[in-house]
């Protein structure tokens, strides 16, 4: 297993930096170690926390090849509270990504409803893509270009809603797919030499706990993305 990093833990929560290449939890088609396995081994008390035994303490998830910060509940009361905070959009998340091409607008908002691709159910999309999309739900993403070089843009992304694959779908919809994201950018998507996964990282997560405690956690920048940024 690729070893996650424990960023923080107390009686209520565990915060981890999930490495790229690690699946968050098990399922019918998962035949490899998961983040849930790692957490259960080190924090066995989370076995009964949550809505699904396969997702102990897990309130949200990241795609297998997306790295970055996640928060996990250690108690059922905290699980319910965090779930409500995510649903109410009171938990702030910031991502960074390398995207294809140069943005005409260096900051802005993408507000395009996201739904399931009728022909390919594992994919999400927006109606303007030309594909048949079902079950569309409102989705909003803020973006800000941080640096540009050699046909790539280094971008900060803030999802203001929590749709599946939201950032990847929105970046593709505006013509700047996440670098190396074959699923949404296609087999010829831009990809820096040596990169082997979609270059998307959940960098910060912040929220206020009951009693007014304010937390902000930052996940260490992954080596593959750091090497690319150093070459800009």
Catalytic residue ranges: 63
In this structure, the number of other CB atoms found within 10 A of the CB of residue 90 comes to 12
If we measure between CA atoms, which residue out of 113, 192, 16 comes closest to residue 6? 16
State the residue for tokens 């290449």. 21
Three-class SS of residue 193? coil
Give Cβ neighbours of residue 101 (< 8 Å, ≥ 6 apart): 151, 152, 153, 175, 176, 190
Query: Can you point out the beta strands (E) in the chain?
Result: 5-9, 13-18, 67-73, 92-100, 107-111, 114-117, 124-125, 133-137, 140-149, 152-159, 200-208, 214-218
The β-bridge partners of 67 are: 201
Please name which of 174, 114, 185 lies closest in space to residue 143, comparing C-alpha atoms. 174
């Amino acid at each position: 297993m690729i070893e996650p990093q424990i960023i923080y833990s107390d009686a209520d929560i565990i915060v981890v930096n999930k490495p790229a290449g690690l699946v968050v939890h098990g399922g019918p088609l998962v035949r490899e170690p998961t983040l849930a396995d790692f957490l259960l081994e080190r924090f066995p008390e989370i076995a009964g926390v949550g809505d699904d035994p396969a997702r102990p303490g897990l309130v949200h998830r990241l795609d297998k090849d997306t790295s970055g910060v996640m928060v996990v509940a250690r108690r059922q009361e905290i699980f319910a509270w965090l779930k409500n905070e995510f649903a109410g959009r009171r938990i702030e998340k910031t991502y960074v990504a390398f995207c294809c091409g140069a943005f005409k607008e260096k900051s802005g908002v993408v507000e395009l409803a996201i739904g399931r691709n009728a022909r390919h159910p594992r994919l999400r999309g927006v109606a303007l893509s030309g594909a048949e999309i079902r079950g569309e739900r409102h989705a909003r993403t803020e973006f800000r270009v941080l640096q540009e070089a050699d046909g790539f843009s280094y971008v900060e992304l803030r999802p203001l809603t929590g749709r599946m694959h939201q950032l990847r779908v929105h970046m593709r919809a505006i013509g700047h797919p996440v670098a190396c994201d074959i699923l949404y950018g296609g087999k010829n998507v831009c990809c820096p030499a040596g990169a082997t996964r979609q270059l998307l990282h959940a960098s910060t997560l912040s929220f206020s706990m009951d009693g007014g405690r304010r937390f902000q956690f930052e996940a260490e920048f992954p080596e593959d993305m750091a090497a690319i940024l150093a070459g800009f």
